[in-house]
Structure 1
Amino acid sequence: MLPRSIRGRLTALVTLLALLLLVPTGIAEAVIGRQAVANGIWLEVRRQAGMTAASVRAGRQAAVLQPRVDGVHLVQVVDAGHRVVNASPKAAGLPPLSSVRPPAGNPERDVESCLPHLGCLRVAALRVAPGADSPVVYAGRPAASVRPFEAFGQFFGLQEGVLTILAAWATWKVTGRTLRPVEEIRADLAAIGGDDISSRVPEPSGQDEIARLARTVNGTLSRIEEAKHGTERVLMRQRQFVADASHELRTPLAGLRAELEEAQMHPRETDLPELLSNALFDVDRLEAIIADLLLLARVDSIGESERTRVDLSELVAGAAMRRLGRLPVRVTTEPGVHVTVVRSQVARVVANLLDNAQRHARRSVEVHVKRDRATAVLLVMDDGPGIPAAHRDRIFERFTRLDTARSRDHGGTGLGLAIARDVAMAHDGTLTACESPSGGACFILRLPLDDPAN
């Protein structure tokens, strides 16, 4: 059964791989090393047998053979009757080291022989001459000389076991140290509650995967926090909007109800035409507020398919012509200032700005349409009392009226400038307020040009 943790799985995997690599390698090295030592012994005894046979053939053998190869101390010359005719000091008095006599066709043989008091030997048997009466030289060495290497092989096996244990321990420690930041990230994430997501997980130094994971987690937490705050701001704005809308709708409704109740209580003292005129005024006001609320709700939901190419200069000139009966409106436009917009919405913006300017102007209103690089610019200026600098952002809030525009006769629904700015922003534009050269108010609408290259 595999361990449940990544740390345990990696340790088990590394241990298994170490065993699969080290154990066969150790066995192979032990076998090859043993074989190499054995081959070295055979080569030594063969060499000694060859040198002794050469001396016998040359007739130079001494009364007592003196081995010339280190480690090979057992040398005998045995005649055809299987009698030892000469031997080295350590082989003197011993029976023949082997009973094997190599044939003439294969004069050299490697033989393993076991003798009392000597144990097992590795013996090279070499026929001196091809004749039937040729003596045979035996050179031998104890097979026990391989045992030291066997001990070394056992030590090497123990070393491989220790290496396997060390590999497992090192993997366990390194993996634990590597995964510790992941555990810290997990613990910190588990501690973060839904009410407070301002906490962040620790970010390790460097550019490895865990550091990038920590930065990604913190980035995600930041975006969630921003989205939460943004949602809270939207909800607050919606609550405020609903409260303001309820208040604005309640005012004309309360006035209408009061007039109707008074007329019901005193029918003979009621001037019916005046009552109807006041009631219609309040109904018109309610209708205007509801229409503006519906337009505000639809500003951000207009799709790209509803946008068309519009000549802003012609649109502004037409809107100004329809308002010539109030105050003089001087219009200056550049030809062919095209924008891609929802025509009805931008027309409403232009109408709101012109109505606002004519409502507060003393003698005249000036309107300019021009290009400014890749932007279409509409300026609407009046010579009225102007807007204090401290209120130039607040006037774009919904249901906001300054003191100079709070009267029942002059005040609008309180949504005109809010609608104008929302429409501008929905078309990737801006609407700002400033002071006109005459000291009155100046509104600047900027929209992206449809053909900035022209």
Structure 2
Amino acid sequence: MRSSFRPPGRRVPRPWRPRSIRGQVTALVALLSMLLLVPSGVLAGMVARQELANAGWLDARRAAGLMAAADRAGRLHDPVVTSSVPGVNVVQVVAADGRVLASSPDARGLPPLSTLRPTADDPQRDVQTCANTRLGCVRLSAVRVSADDDSTVVYAGGPVRTVIATGVFDALFAVQVGVLISIAIWAAWKITGRTLRPVEAIRAELAATNVNDLSSRVPEPAGDDEISRLARTVNSTLERLENAKGRMEQALSAQRQFASDASHELRTPVAGLRAQLEEAKMHPQDTDLDALLDRTLGDVDRLQAIMADLLLLAKIGGTPPAMGEVDLSETVRMEVSRRADRLPVRLRLARATIVQGVDTQITRILTNLLDNAQRHARSAVMVEVRHDDRHAELVISDDGDGIAEADRERIFERFTRLDASRCRDRGGTGLGLAIVRDIVRAHGGTIGVDTGDAGGARFTVRLPLHPRPSDAPAPSGTTMSLAAFSAH
């Protein structure tokens, strides 16, 4: 027994059905045009034939009436002249006893064309006869000349139209219907092909697009119809895919570089720690245990700091946490008051500087930049918070040696240390400024470095202000509070 199961959603193709939309639309138009035009043509032919027949009967009645009037007036002579009514060429005047008293040239020598005689109550009758005539079938109108019983009868009419008798009239309508159906099919085929031509171009372009190159775009036809919107949607999707691919490749490249840098940076303290432990194991009698523990704990602290920074970088690159209101000036004030720095920190803070961000990450930006400034400053560190209508700025500067212009982008790379910092750093991970840059970018801000007024490095962080209701008063950017904190 053959199974009739087929996967859901998959339609079985029908051999009689056209495969293309163009063919399906054309076939539908052909079917509809035949259903509409063929009955219409048949009906129109019937109506036209009936109208033509009615016109023939009207001509016969008119001619018979005129001939009867002429006979009553004594003006009807033999042979009868029939030129007064076009299409009427058969006239006979028949007496009550059946004798032909007068006739037209086409009816001369013929017996009475009909035995039908109108009565006094019905003085005019119509008859169609095909006997006793050389002209074939004729339509005749019989009219009594007078009301007497022995009144003569005038027969007038003409042959049935040849175009109707031979079916040429029907053939004419059939040809007309066929031509109209052909025009409808041809127009449907051409118009559908022209309409679907952009779809074929879109299909061909998409077929040529591969995952390695998503820069191609499908052609966008003019207008705002369904196909134009489809093309714009496809191009928008390709653009998003291209951007997503670029971000993915960038993330993979950064991940590979990050793994390479991290493995290189972690190798040194691990190797040093192993060497110290192996040396202590080989020469236990010459090993100062307290000094060994101090050194190994220092290396462990360094490893712990590196791993903590790596985890923070991974967290920053993941799903961003929910952001809220952060008072940047208050955060700076509280963080500086808790620190015990070797150099004093001077503050210049604008009040009510509310930014959109995560409080712990904003604090980490400040902490890392303050640590960097404390390592390189000679006598003091300056922190300033200011804002305009849309952004807040956190500026941290020192009076150290500054940063060369060629190194101002490189210092934000992971595990990058300048020569001067290698001599002065003690236990730094090389990730502090990289963490600052990633946090700032995650908050929709920017960070830059230049030379400050005191000649040292000046880091400027720009963060978007928190959106406030339209009726809330704008924070004043000119009110400053100046404080100095010294820590030892």
Asked if 1:16 is matched to 2:31, the reply is yes
Aligned partners of 2:166 and 2:95: how far apart in 1? Answer: 36
Give, in angstroms, the shift of residue 184 of structure 1: 4.0
Give, in angstroms, the shift of residue 151 of structure 1: 1.9
* Pair 1:95–1:153, CA change in 2 (3 A): same
Q: Which residue of 2 aligns with 1:107?
A: 123
- Over the matched positions of the two proteins, sequence identity in percent amounts to 56
Q: Which residue of 1 aligns with 2:474?
A: 453
Give, in angstroms, the shift of residue 83 of structure 1: 2.0
Give, in angstroms, the shift of residue 39 of structure 1: 1.6
- Say what the alpha-carbon RMSD is for the aligned residues: 2.4
Aligned partners of 2:158 and 2:332: how far apart in 1? Answer: 119
**Structure 1 or 2: more helix by fraction:** 1
Alignment of 1:226-375 (within 5 A): 226-299=243-316, 300-304=318-322, 307-375=323-391
Residues 34 and 149, structure 1, Cα contact 8 Å, conserved in 2 = no
Asked if 1:193 is matched to 2:210, the reply is yes
Asked if 1:125 is matched to 2:146, the reply is no
Q: Which residue of 1 aligns with 2:436?
A: 420
Aligned partner letter, 2:203: R
SS at match of 1:119: coil
User: With structure 1 as the length reference, what TM-score do the two structures score?
Assistant: 0.91
Aligned partners of 1:228 and 1:188: how far apart in 2? Answer: 19
Residues 38 and 177, structure 2, Cα contact 8 Å, conserved in 1 = yes
Aligned partners of 1:83 and 1:325: how far apart in 2? Answer: 149
Out of 35, 40, 51, the residue aligned to residue 25 of structure 1 is: 40
Aligned partner letter, 1:453: A
User: With structure 2 as the length reference, what TM-score do the two structures score?
Assistant: 0.85
Aligned partner letter, 2:416: T
* Pair 1:3–1:394, CA change in 2 (3 A): same
Residues 89 and 104, structure 2, Cα contact 8 Å, conserved in 1 = yes
User: Residues 372-430 of structure 1, C-alpha deviation per residue, up to 9 Å, x if partnerless?
Assistant: 22222211110111111122122112111111111374451111111112222222222
Asked if 1:58 is matched to 2:73, the reply is yes
Aligned partner letter, 1:46: R
Q: Which residue of 1 aligns with 2:447?
A: 431
Worse-superposed segment, 215-224 or 74-83: 215-224
Give, in angstroms, the shift of residue 314 of structure 1: 2.1
Give, in angstroms, the shift of residue 180 of structure 1: 4.2
* Pair 1:325–1:123, CA change in 2 (3 A): closer
Structure 1: runs of 5+ lacking an equivalent:
none
Q: Which residue of 1 aligns with 2:478?
A: none
Give, in angstroms, the shift of residue 100 of structure 1: 0.5
Worse-superposed segment, 377-386 or 17-26: 17-26
SS at match of 1:309: strand
* Pair 1:448–1:131, CA change in 2 (3 A): same
* Pair 1:373–1:214, CA change in 2 (3 A): closer
Out of 101, 110, 113, the residue aligned to residue 94 of structure 1 is: 110
Aligned partners of 1:231 and 1:7: how far apart in 2? Answer: 41
Give, in angstroms, the shift of residue 444 of structure 1: 1.1
Aligned partners of 1:83 and 1:409: how far apart in 2? Answer: 147
SS at match of 1:115: coil
Give, in angstroms, the shift of residue 178 of structure 1: 4.4
Residues 125 and 141, structure 2, Cα contact 8 Å, conserved in 1 = yes
Aligned partner letter, 2:433: L
Give, in angstroms, the shift of residue 225 of structure 1: 2.6
Asked if 1:135 is matched to 2:152, the reply is yes
Q: Which residue of 1 aligns with 2:4?
A: none
Residues 42 and 173, structure 2, Cα contact 8 Å, conserved in 1 = no
Worse-superposed segment, 348-357 or 57-66: 57-66
SS at match of 2:137: strand
Aligned residues: 452
Residues 370 and 376, structure 1, Cα contact 8 Å, conserved in 2 = yes
Q: Which residue of 2 aligns with 1:79?
A: 95
Aligned partners of 2:104 and 2:216: how far apart in 1? Answer: 91
Structure 2: runs of 5+ lacking an equivalent:
1-15, 476-488
Q: Which residue of 2 aligns with 1:224?
A: 241
